[in-house]
Amino acid sequence: MAAMGHLSSMFNGLARSFSLRKVKSNGNGDGREAADEIAKDAVKNEMILRSSGCLNIDDSKNFASVFSRRGEKGVNQDCCIVWEEFGCQADMMFCGVFDGHGPWGHFVAKKVRESMPSSLLCNWQETLAQCSLDPDIDLESDKKHHRFNIWKHSYLKACAAVDQELEQHRRIDSFNSGATALTIVRQGELIFVANVGDSRAVLATTADDGSLEPVQLTADFKPNLPQEAERILQCKGRIFCLEDEPGVHRVWLPDAESPGLAMSRAFGDYCIKDFGLISVPEVTQRHITSKDQFVVLATDGVWDVISNQEAVQIASSTPDRAKAAKRLVQSAVHAWKRKRKGIAMDDISAICLFFHSSPLSQQVHAV
């Protein structure tokens, strides 16, 4: 079957990459170590970007613009990553924004950024192997459905592994600190989105009248969302707003005025993991068409002051796509000063991932 052949070729190519690196490590490496070696090679070959800038590999459809700015609360606890040819696959790309909080938040965010891609890659390889050997899986019947299930299963296992690894880390105190993570994998004309926390992904797509319109791909996992609140309250956690922060719902321990988290999902924060906070991602997929122009991944520092429509307009109207993320972040900085006077500005980070190699058509304009 064609679908089975495509899946097998992906698996075989990845398996060869893993096995080569196992040989380099004298045969003692497991799948995760092999994935870490792939990541190191990607850094050497300039396939990974972990700082503000842009990434555009020759012959790639993808063009990523990245920018992060420290807020007014101390060290920048946001961080980002873009990995072209993810897992040695020419048609794959990994992007992520991570937002730390708490005394050790910047360390937690960077650790999650370091661990997530390799863990996901390792679990994806294992899941592919299982599917390729399972005679009961008919990939030809619904290729898109099976591909989504593979990524969803891989993401669920990867996030659980990353959170467990973080809890056992001897040099990072994650008891009262944590981080959110919003990541996407582009595989051909599909994108798979996994969200843990309150960062947001917004797609810019062309409407029938030629204008660009935003499509929000993720939910902001705040404690007052009905399904989130139900889980937290069932686990004996509390949800309420501080008097000087009306409308900002936070999660609290049953019998203490801490930690007061403004999100309902995060890595770390083990002080409240038994009271409703989870690190389980919501995983969704989207088929990219010629109408879909780019996707914006940004931390809540952007979305607190910039609307989805404004973000799409700002990114699309930037003449130099390499500066799209920087212009979006700078616009958020100005909006903070205008809309939230007297409130310390949050760290602000964004990735603008353009899907097509050529710039936006002149017929496409933002409203």
With contact defined as beta carbons under 8 Å apart, do 291 and 361 qualify? no
For each of the domains in the chain, give its residue range(s) and CATH number, in order of start. Answer: 2-221+263-366 (3.60.40.10)
Residue 56 φ then ψ, to 5°: -150, 105
The two tokens of residue 87 are 């897992």
3-state secondary structure of 188: coil
SS3 262: coil
d(CA 349, CA 343): 18
> What local confidence, expressed as pLDDT, does residue 358 receive?
57
Any idea how long the chain is? Answer: 367
User: What is the dihedral angle through the alpha carbons of 35, 37, 41, 46, rounded to the nearest 10 degrees?
Assistant: 60
Q: What is the pLDDT of residue 15?
A: 46
* Dihedral (CA of 253, 255, 258, 260) sign: positive
Residue 232: CB atoms within 10 A of its CB come to: 24
* Global pTM value: 0.90
Do the beta carbons of residue 82 and residue 55 sit within 8 Å? yes
pLDDT value, residue 32 = 87
Q: Which stretches of the chain drop beneath a pLDDT of 50? A: 1-6, 8-9, 11, 13-29, 360-367
Q: Which of 34, 32, 40, 269 is nearest to 166 (CA)?
A: 269
SS (H, E, C) 95-161: EEEEEEECCCHHHHHHHHHHHHHHHHHHHHHHHHHHHHHCCCCCCCCCHHHHHHHHHHHHHHHHHHH
Closest listed residue to residue 80, CA positions, set 214, 197, 180: 180
Residue 129 CB: number of other CB atoms within 10 A? 14
Q: Each residue of 297-341: pLDDT tens digit? A: 999 999 999 999 999 999 999 999 999 999 999 999 999 999 998
DSSP state of 5: H
